[in-house]
Amino acid sequence: MTSTVDDPTGTAGPGGVASPGLAAHQVTVRYGRHRVLDRVDLHVAPGETVGLRGPSGSGKSTLARVLALLHAPDGGRVTLDGRPVGGVRYRVPAAVRTRVAILFQSPRAASDPRLSLADLIAAPLRAVGTPTAQATARTAELADLVGLTPDLLTRRPHAVSDGQLQRACLARALAHRPDHLLCDEATAMLDASTQAHVAAVVTDYQRRHSAGVLLITHDPALLARWATRVVDLPGPPAALDHRAK
Ligand SMILES: Nc1ncnc2c1ncn2[C@@H]1O[C@H](COP(=O)(O)OP(=O)(O)OP(=O)(O)O)[C@@H](O)[C@H]1O
């Protein structure tokens, strides 16, 4: 069974010219015997917002983690501007991996409880050896961008609300001015006003930087309002791997 969900235009075409963007090509992922993604294609061009929907368990978060270069697929590959990206996490050169950022649903699960919000935002800058003064200035700029006041920056995650922590996670995601931002149910846990604010910051960033956005959500209203186009992941291919026994 092939689950091609999108037309991947991120490969070099007949003329050898690669279209810009972030793409998954024939991506397959298994957890043990459970095949979650089966040869899936997806392409996010600069400036567009691709909505990704599908039933619970269809592999949306898994695909986002593959595209964020956090999870190595068992088959297929990820390309950036048509060039294959080998490896995941710190095996990918900083200049490449910082072009993609991801914002998760639960800011608490995605935050080190020992860090102040300022250190949390600055973590990706520190990870690539950004000089302290530069990292401090950029952190202040990012905090301002997401609407975090200076008094909140000295607090740790337990001392701020979910909405404030998600704003810090958004600031952290934007630290390196990524070309692609993957939002995995990123506003699902937020109240309406924080949800609107986070969406406004992302869309403004997207407009100014021509960033591609992947929007994973179960919310049809959010997809209708924000997505340029919507891609459907089929349900989990449950029985597939029993045949291989
Ligand atoms: N690290 C893991 N180890 C084993 N199984 C996993 C792992 N991560 C996800 N899965 C399983 O893979 C399947 C797809 O999970 P995934 O979170 O990608 O789906 P999803 O479409 O994002 O679901 P939802 O809409 O409920 O968030 C699920 O059956 C899940 O239990």
Q: Which SS3 state, helix, strand or coil, does residue 241 take?
A: helix
Give the CA angle between residues 191, 99, 235 to the nearest 5°: 60
pTM for this one? 0.90
Q: Across 86-166, where does the E strand assignment appear? A: 100-103
167 CA → ligand 1 middle, Å: 25
Predicted confidence (pLDDT) per residue in 180-225, tens digit: 999 999 988 888 889 999 999 999 999 999 999 999 999 999 999 9
Which spans in 22-131 are helix H? 60-67, 94-97, 117-127
Domain regions of the chain by residue span: 22-232
pLDDT tens column, 61-116: 999 999 999 999 999 999 999 999 988 888 889 999 999 999 999 999 999 999 99
Chain mean pLDDT for the chain: 89
Are the beta carbons of 18 and 82 closer than 8 angstroms? yes
pLDDT per residue as tens digits for the range 16-63: 456 799 999 999 999 999 999 999 999 999 999 999 999 999 999 999
77, two tokens = 């590959």
Decide whether any atom of ligand 1 lies within 6 Å of the 56 Cβ. yes
Instruction: Please give the Cα distance from 86 to 78 (Å, whole number).
Output: 8
Distance 170 CA to ligand 1 centre (A): 23
Query: In angstroms, what is the span from residue 59 Cα to ligand 1's centroid?
Result: 6
ipTM: 0.97
In the reported structure, the alpha carbon of residue 205 is separated from the centroid of ligand 1 by a whole-number distance in angstroms of: 29
Q: Which of 27, 36, 70, 232 for a ligand 1 pocket mutation test, highest count of atoms within 8 Å of Cβ?
A: 36
Name the CATH superfamily, with its identifier, for domain 22-232.
Answer: P-loop containing nucleotide triphosphate hydrolases (3.40.50.300)
